[in-house]
Structure 1
Amino acid sequence: MNFAFFSTRRTFLVICLFLFTKSLIFAQTSRVLVFSKTKGWKHSCIPFSIKAIQKLGQENSFMVDTTTNSALFSDQNLQKYQAVIFNNTTGDVLNNEQQAAFERYIQASGGFVGIHSATDTEYAWPWYGELVGAYFGSHPNNSNIRKASIDVTDNQHISTAHLPARWERTDEWYSFKYFYHGIKPLAFLDENTYEGGTNGGNHPIAWFHEYDGGRAFYTANGHTDESYSEPLYLQHLLGGIKYAIGNANALDYSKSYSKAVPEENRFEKTVLVNDLNNPMELAIAKDGRIFFTELAGNLSVFNTKTNEHKLIHRFPLVMKGGTGLIGITLDPNFEQNQWVYLYYSPPIEGEPILFNLSRFTISKNNVLDLSSEKVLLQVPVQINSGSHHGGSLAFDKNGNLFLSTGDGTTPFPSDGYAPLDERKDEKYYSMDAQRSAANTNDLKGKILRIHPEKDGTYTIPQGNMFPKGNQTKPEIFAMGCRNPYRIAINPETSTVYWGEIGPDAGEDKIRGPRGYDEFNQAKKPGFYGWPYFVGNNFPYSEWDFETATAGPKYDVEKPTNNSPNNTGLTKLPPAVAPIIWYPYSLSPDFPELGLGGRSAMAGEFYTYDKNSTSKTKIPEYYNGALFVFEMKITLEVKSLCQLMEILEDLLT
């Protein structure tokens, strides 16, 4: 009787122990990796934060691994974790392969937690900047640690539900130079409660969001050692970790797609030709010849097989207002017909100056047959045009030829804002881009699309913007362009891309927005905004040049061209926004573009050929990618007098 009772009791205890162990194992299937590598400032709080997170794991049934080893950022290792915590990391802590592995981890529904200086990490990795949600800009000094107040605006999130509406604490307070637009702020720092803030009334200090398949939480709190013994902060951090862990399901790597960016040291720049006079555009033949133009009239060729450079022909030109020899492209059947297309301004007296889009025949030994010229179309421009002539040429897969044309409008009297000068005097005519870019009956400020015929004429492809009419030009495919300087055509889809060189205003005013450059994409015909909008369709005011006063802002959905210089339709289609836009300063939307540069140009699409034996072919990673660039002008000046001569030439 007693033995039976003992046996039953022992069995009961064993079963209870088994069930407890099983439940413990189940509860601890969540696992996080705390990554604390630094390549810049090393925070003294890191050991305290590690110890605190380990304790949170023990108390809340998730396992914690810690490391400073970047090599653990691999598919094989990361798939063990439900969340990765960047614990006061600084600088560039992952190489390209490791970055790609972390991207794949997030895409597989992984979680991310960033603590404090996680925003002072990986500035050259745009994907990470969007994941973490911001980049560090500055913090107060002398002393950098101060008391301040935080306004908790989301009391429903697991990381802030326990916090008071007004949370006072002491820490190092970050200001940020960039915020990703997709973040969901949880709390804002009140800059009135401390000195040294630079974000003003919009100063998020903690946030979360879903990004690229995963979950991300960031708190700028956590600089001080004492933070990691502070109950409210620890509960805040715990909530962020739990959010990042999510429902602890297994990762799904079938959703991952990132590949490692090839290391920059794999690429070498080789200068083919030096000392050129304003090189404009190039076209590459399959036999290895590179044809290129210079504004002053030189048509030249470089033979990549022999490394020889030869001047083919120097065109006599009208060289006023930025005119000259600009565009070049080869016929899709160049190997058979040897046809080359050029966009240039032949000699002519008076105004308007005419740009010719012409076809020539060029021999295999690089002799240009001048008598073979067929002028397909002409674009009239004014001398006082601000050098906005576009002039880029490219064919699509259907044999349609695209030509970009600038608005031909002088920008200087408009102080870097929209040139909308409607004053009646003839001298103001070339200061109104409504007569060109926003004019449906003018070829300037456009992307034109035609189909060249064998006899040197052209037809209009189906699907252009307008039918032939009294107030429209059927050649127009896209309009509302300022200076679409270089275009590129996707060889698979025939979608046209171009860099739009924008105006120069340095700040937003009642007159309109600061200047932006753009990269645009046209899958179908459309109006791209200029001169009524710039950047992400930021509107200008209807500016009165007589009284220097601003009228109402232009309507993006219903732009109207009421200029007396307009010869086309009055009502225009809704403005199409660009895919990328950026000012001179750091862009909050595209920080990877950096500072200062402003001459956006589309380059070329790359198609990887796995059968090519070339030792210099670009890696497969870039297959299907569009290469974009900006123009850089380098002047070698040997004396002040020479500098003054160069400046005078540029101004005239």
Structure 2
Amino acid sequence: MLITLLGTAPAAAENDRAAAGQASRLPGAQDPRVLVFHGADAPEDRTRAGVEAVEALGAEGPAAERFAVESTDDPSVFTPTELTAFNAVVFLSAEGAVLDAAQESALQNYVRSGGGFVGVHDAARAQPESEWFTGLIGSRPDAGSPADPQRAVVEVGDRVNPATRGLPLEWARNDVWFDWESNPTGEVHTVARVRERTYEPGEDAEGWDHPISWCRDYDGGRSFYTGMGGTEASFGEANFRKHLRGALLWTSRLARADCQATITDNYAAERLTPPNQPEALDQIGEPHGLDIADDGRVFYIGRGGQWSNAPVVTDWNDPDIGLGPGTVHVYDPATEEVTLAASLEVFGNKGGGGELVKIEEGLVGIVLDPDFEDNNWIYLHWTPHSEIDREAHMAERRVSRFTFDPESGQLDLASEAVLLAWPVQIHSCCHAGGGMDFDSEGNLYIATGDTNSSQFSDGYSGNNPEPNHQGVSFADARRTAGNTNNLNGKILRIHPEDDGTYTVPEGNLFTGEEEGGGKTRPEIYVMGVRNPARIAVDPETDWLYAGWVGPDAGEPSSTWGPAKYDTFAVITEAGNRGWPYCMGNRQPYRDRNLPDPTQPLDWYDCDAPRNESPHNDGLVELPPITGNNIWYSPQGGGPDYPRNADGIPSYELDEQELLLPWLTGGGQATMSGPLYRYDEGTASDVAWPAYWDGKWFVGDFYDADQPRHAVVMDPSNAGNGGLPVHAESLDAIIPVGDGGIRNLMDWKFAPDGSLYVLDYGRGFFNADSESALWRITYQGGPATPAPADLARR
């Protein structure tokens, strides 16, 4: 039998009726009734508790939300005539219940005519031979599911659905937890998941993505299923009753809900830019960042690489060493055309030669002024080729303001005002950072990399003081990220002024006057970050969301410390995020120093780190380190270890616990994304729905097993390293693999609520045929039922 999955059609039909002023002819009446059906052999105590709970829920709340309840174990009620009297049908304690062909046909026609259905727990075992009923439920319990109640944590991912609105983010409760024959994620809209690491899920468990309650618009009607409710005590719990009541309100047409928001077929991903013309950068440069104007135009930059076979100068004696084009392109959605708005001469076209194996300088960041619509100011974070010192192997990184000419569509390079500039080493690899964003007060955040090589510490803490070029170390991040007097390896916060200068807002990490001055930089908001390529400020809270790439060690070491940890963090105030002293949830590295950096010294103290590098010109005693929210290694997400009496982890792989099992590493490079804010006033028909409001998008450059997720944080502990309380994969919405977005470089939501994504392309340090700007839109339609179809209006 064919299972018909209708996502947008019922909603569209209902809205068409409403627009035409037509009366609704849906099952039920203005005085709603709910039918509770249960099996004749169902557990008596649980069944009675469930029926009494539904009856009580029908009598609760405002008069406009009340409904009458009838219950039966007699399947003969399933006739076309009798079912039309009910707004919703509930299957409760229905394991083994079987409707005959005529009775199921009546239920099918009831649903197809717009009726509502609620399945509770073992309703998923009713009608075991019916494919249509399997589609109505969404999945079937696996035969190996645990049979006994266990206490577990439910992650409530949907914060707006009436069935989950107001429930705890992390909801600990006792129940019988089903595994599923097939995971329904992506085909249904999941509102809650059960966290498997909090109980014993059995051999056939789902893993980190274990849906437990979901809904969808199905075959013309509305279906809600919860795998909870497997114990008598469930129906006495206030939160479970709230959950069940919300499901009943939606299915009875007493409330509206969006049950389409995470159904993957409701999203469309479109590549917007074709490949460049041969030996040209007419569509896109080496993708490295984007920002979006209020009118929807997308401004995106190329770092400095050219097309794949373009020549690269690697000889330091050549004046053009590393010379490349830092490009600014503009995509206009109104015309669907791309304009090359600027090409800056940058140092950064480097992919090989000597120590310059992976120089990442160039044009690395872009942000539009908050008043761009009026002043046309654009800020670029870049490394001008004109300022390099070929003998010292030093360059100048700067943040400059330029004026965009809307008439010509060009960036006026002569309009440059340099806000801030500082020295960076370019003798050796890596880490330029680049991300920028504004907060609601007009403060500009600037993410800078530690400009530090990873090749001289076996991939652990970047703290080797020995290698240097003309006295400038390039393998000791204590000189940069761990130095209070250096702007590299930081997130800076300044306030640009109209005259092209800047002031420093209050509340940064330092004042500049510590120890009499000369030891700190007041521009520093966050220190101890390695390579923060992407940052974003939540416009509602002004919290900063950031991610940075970790070092290269493939495994932890009981001598040196943790493996490579790529990191995401919610930053609510100025602080020290650890690199190169501690990573993850404050897991320390081992110190090293001259005369023999191969010999380990003491473990760093994350509460009171000290910078005793010979290259440190800042404070020795540093601010305490704040733990980070998300970290992952090649072994998985959130590695943690037992700690000894001194708080030092064992760093033994066989003792590892993965606190974030939805994450997998390997080759990894964090690309932190935006925190989505849904605009209720938008007239857009492509906006991602309100379900995603407040969710933080975290991803990785790579698309294999690395993260591409939306996560929910607990505001009460997010700023202090609290773990995410919920995560869901975006791989099926932001497509991975061949033909999709393989190398995610940047992503932002536009004013119309659609998502723009830059795909870096294939390989490194060039733009190739896969380098592209993409747009992902929502096609799922509005919430259901339509306003005209509500039972009480």
TM-score under structure 2 length normalisation = 0.54
Partner of 2:268: 268
- Give the Cα–Cα distance (whole angstroms) in 2 for the partners of residues 383 and 113 of structure 1: 59
2:607 matches 1:540: no
- The partner residue of 1:349 within 389, 407, 425 is 389
Partner of 2:370: 332
- Give the Cα–Cα distance (whole angstroms) in 2 for the partners of residues 105 and 329 of structure 1: 36
Residues 80 and 129 of structure 1: CA distance in aligned 2, closer, same or farther (over 3 Å): closer
- The partner residue of 1:429 within 465, 473, 488 is 473
- Give the Cα–Cα distance (whole angstroms) in 2 for the partners of residues 648 and 287 of structure 1: 31
Tell me which moved more, 599-608 or 496-505.
599-608
Which residue identity does 1:603 align to in structure 2? G
Partner of 1:508: 556
Residues 419 and 79 of structure 1: CA distance in aligned 2, closer, same or farther (over 3 Å): same
Q: Which has the higher helix share?
A: 1
Partner of 1:530: 579
2:540 matches 1:492: yes
The alignment partner of 1:362 has SS state of strand
Contact 1:123 1:135 in 2 (8 A): no
2:337 matches 1:301: no
Residues 369 and 111 of structure 1: CA distance in aligned 2, closer, same or farther (over 3 Å): same
- Give the Cα–Cα distance (whole angstroms) in 2 for the partners of residues 460 and 64 of structure 1: 64
Residues 291 and 508 of structure 1: CA distance in aligned 2, closer, same or farther (over 3 Å): same
1:620 offset after TM fit, Å?
Answer: 2.0
Contact 2:196 2:207 in 1 (8 A): no
Partner of 1:186: none
- Give the Cα–Cα distance (whole angstroms) in 2 for the partners of residues 423 and 471 of structure 1: 23
Partner of 1:396: 439
- Give the Cα–Cα distance (whole angstroms) in 2 for the partners of residues 68 and 462 of structure 1: 67
Contact 2:163 2:242 in 1 (8 A): no
Which residue identity does 2:193 align to in structure 1? Y
2:693 matches 1:623: yes
Contact 2:125 2:141 in 1 (8 A): no
Residues 411 and 123 of structure 1: CA distance in aligned 2, closer, same or farther (over 3 Å): farther
Which residue identity does 1:407 align to in structure 2? D
The alignment partner of 1:506 has SS state of coil
1:374 offset after TM fit, Å?
Answer: 0.4
Contact 1:82 1:111 in 2 (8 A): no
Contact 2:464 2:597 in 1 (8 A): no
- The partner residue of 1:323 within 349, 354, 361 is 361
- Give the Cα–Cα distance (whole angstroms) in 2 for the partners of residues 88 and 177 of structure 1: 10
- The partner residue of 1:600 within 656, 670, 676 is 670
The alignment partner of 1:265 has SS state of helix
Partner of 1:452: 496
- Give the Cα–Cα distance (whole angstroms) in 2 for the partners of residues 631 and 548 of structure 1: 32
- Give the Cα–Cα distance (whole angstroms) in 2 for the partners of residues 465 and 82 of structure 1: 56
Matches within 5 A, 1:37-52: none
2:594 matches 1:550: no
For residues 47-80 of structure 1, give each alpha carbon's deviation from its aligned partner in whole angstroms, at most 9, with x where no partner exists.
xxxxxxxxxxxxxxxx9541699x99x9974679
1:416 offset after TM fit, Å?
Answer: 1.6
Matched length: 492
The alignment partner of 2:270 has SS state of coil
2:290 matches 1:282: yes
The alignment partner of 1:335 has SS state of helix
Partner of 1:114: 177
- Give the Cα–Cα distance (whole angstroms) in 2 for the partners of residues 431 and 550 of structure 1: 16
- Give the Cα–Cα distance (whole angstroms) in 1 for the partners of residues 603 and 206 of structure 2: 29
Partner of 2:241: 251
Residues 329 and 422 of structure 1: CA distance in aligned 2, closer, same or farther (over 3 Å): same
Tell me which moved more, 480-489 or 582-591.
582-591
Matches within 5 A, 1:66-77: 66=95, 77=118
Matches within 5 A, 1:116-515: 128-130=193-195, 133=198, 174=203, 251-253=241-243, 260=259, 261-275=261-275, 276-296=284-304, 297-319=326-348, 321-347=359-385, 348-350=388-390, 351-365=393-407, 366-423=409-466, 426=469, 429-469=473-513, 470-510=518-558, 511-515=560-564
- Give the Cα–Cα distance (whole angstroms) in 2 for the partners of residues 528 and 254 of structure 1: 42
- Give the Cα–Cα distance (whole angstroms) in 1 for the partners of residues 428 and 191 of structure 2: 38
Residues 619 and 375 of structure 1: CA distance in aligned 2, closer, same or farther (over 3 Å): same
Query: How much identity, in percent, do the aligned residues show?
Result: 33
1:578 offset after TM fit, Å?
Answer: 1.4
Unaligned stretches of 5+ residues in structure 2? 1-42, 52-91, 99-107, 127-139, 146-156, 210-225, 248-256, 276-283, 305-325, 351-358, 638-657, 704-736, 740-761, 768-793
Which residue identity does 1:308 align to in structure 2? E
For residues 270-315 of structure 1, give each alpha carbon's deviation from its aligned partner in whole angstroms, at most 9, with x where no partner exists.
1122444421111111223211110111111111111111111211
1:87 offset after TM fit, Å?
Answer: 5.7
- Give the Cα–Cα distance (whole angstroms) in 2 for the partners of residues 305 and 273 of structure 1: 14
Partner of 1:201: none
Residues 248 and 126 of structure 1: CA distance in aligned 2, closer, same or farther (over 3 Å): closer
Structure with larger Rg? 1
Partner of 2:781: none
Which residue identity does 2:346 align to in structure 1? L
Partner of 1:642: none
Residues 174 and 458 of structure 1: CA distance in aligned 2, closer, same or farther (over 3 Å): same
The alignment partner of 2:289 has SS state of strand
1:556 offset after TM fit, Å?
Answer: 1.6
- Choose between structure 1 and 2 for higher RCO, CA contacts under 8 A separated by at least 6 residues: 2
The alignment partner of 1:316 has SS state of strand
Residues 530 and 368 of structure 1: CA distance in aligned 2, closer, same or farther (over 3 Å): same
Residues 608 and 215 of structure 1: CA distance in aligned 2, closer, same or farther (over 3 Å): closer
Tell me which moved more, 423-432 or 284-293.
423-432
- Give the Cα–Cα distance (whole angstroms) in 2 for the partners of residues 556 and 110 of structure 1: 35
1:336 offset after TM fit, Å?
Answer: 0.9
1:536 offset after TM fit, Å?
Answer: 2.0
- Give the Cα–Cα distance (whole angstroms) in 2 for the partners of residues 590 and 251 of structure 1: 30
Which residue identity does 1:440 align to in structure 2? T
Partner of 2:618: 568
Unaligned stretches of 5+ residues in structure 1? 1-23, 33-62, 137-172, 181-213, 218-239, 637-644
- Give the Cα–Cα distance (whole angstroms) in 2 for the partners of residues 123 and 89 of structure 1: 19
Contact 1:215 1:243 in 2 (8 A): no
Which residue identity does 2:691 align to in structure 1? Y
Contact 1:83 1:112 in 2 (8 A): no
Contact 1:83 1:111 in 2 (8 A): no
- Give the Cα–Cα distance (whole angstroms) in 1 for the partners of residues 335 and 428 of structure 2: 41
For residues 304-360 of structure 1, give each alpha carbon's deviation from its aligned partner in whole angstroms, at most 9, with x where no partner exists.
111111111211112252111111111111111111100111122333210110001
1:550 offset after TM fit, Å?
Answer: 2.7
Which residue identity does 2:401 align to in structure 1? R
Contact 2:545 2:570 in 1 (8 A): yes
Residues 356 and 391 of structure 1: CA distance in aligned 2, closer, same or farther (over 3 Å): same
1:627 offset after TM fit, Å?
Answer: 2.7
TM-score under structure 1 length normalisation = 0.65
Contact 1:438 1:531 in 2 (8 A): yes
Contact 1:81 1:110 in 2 (8 A): no
The alignment partner of 2:591 has SS state of strand
